[in-house]
């Protein structure tokens, strides 16, 4: 029986794993009774392959939840297939909005132009929440160096009302991510070489110029920088927040 107090559980887990390396946090988290049922949520984006590779080493059968918004770049869909096969990930689950939801909310595929928050909500947040309702915790690739609300990120954090988030890479630096990819000869997302350091849906992602923030190509020119699947204080992110 899991302790119902999320703050208590998160604190206990952070104390337990405070001095562990990322892969050890991941290795132990997938079987720790304080976490319960765990899944990894992955966009198969620019840096996703790091955590996916770690999962392939410690728990290749772990559920990997991939949200296909049906507006992704073709390169992302091909990369997802390539990485899953190369790393022998055996439990990748593709999540999508239903045909009925699309017909009701965005029949002509233009909602992202008039209301990008609503588009993200029904194409990403709602389908993911539906699946995550069956889990006690989920693993993310969030890191402290991404600043803003993530600057004080811990390995384990509460997500009210009933889940925990696990952030194995919380303390990594940008160079740690790149070094891990090089050392393990991991395949890069093909759009990274074309100037896309942060990759989302095709209509809402643009290349980034040298010197720009890596996430500046997401919803460029709009008061928005998060899709909404990450939460602050138990609430879905809406509007402009730090990435």
Any idea which residues carry the catalytic annotation?
227
204 is in an annotated binding site: yes
115 is in an annotated binding site: no
CA nearest to 169, candidates 64, 35, 53 = 53
229 is in an annotated binding site: no
What is the Cα–Cα distance from 89 to 83, expressed in whole angstroms?
8
Give residue 214's region: left, alpha or beta (phi > 0; psi -120 to 50). Answer: alpha
120 is in an annotated binding site: yes
Known binding residues for [4Fe-4S] cluster are: 119-120, 201, 204
């Amino acid at each position: 029986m899991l302790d119902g107090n999320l703050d208590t559980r998160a604190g206990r887990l952070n104390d337990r794993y405070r001095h562990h390396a990322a892969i050890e946090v991941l290795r132990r988290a997938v079987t720790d009774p304080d976490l319960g049922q765990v899944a990894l949520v992955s966009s198969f984006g620019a840096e996703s392959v790091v955590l996916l590779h770690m999962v392939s080493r410690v728990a290749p059968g772990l559920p990997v939840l991939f949200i296909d918004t049906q507006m992704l770049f073709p390169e992302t869909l091909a990369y997802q297939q390539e990485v899953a096969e190369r790393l022998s990930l055996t439990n990748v689950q593709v999540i999508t909005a239903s045909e009925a939801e699309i017909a009701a909310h965005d029949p002509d595929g233009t909602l992202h132009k008039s209301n990008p928050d609503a588009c993200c909500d029904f194409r990403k947040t709602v389908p993911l929440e539906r699946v995550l309702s069956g889990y006690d915790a989920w693993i993310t690739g969030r890191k402290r160096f991404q600043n803003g609300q993530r600057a004080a990120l811990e390995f384990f954090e509460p997500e009210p009302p009933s889940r925990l988030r696990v952030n194995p890479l919380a303390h990594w630096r940008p160079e740690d991510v790149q070094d891990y990819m090089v050392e393990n000869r991991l395949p890069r997302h093909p759009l990274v070489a074309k100037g896309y350091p942060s990759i989302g849906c095709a209509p809402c992602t643009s290349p980034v110029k040298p010197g720009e923030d890596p996430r500046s190509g997401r919803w460029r020119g709009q008061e928005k920088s998060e899709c909404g699947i990450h939460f602050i204080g138990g609430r879905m992110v809406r509007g402009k927040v730090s990435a």
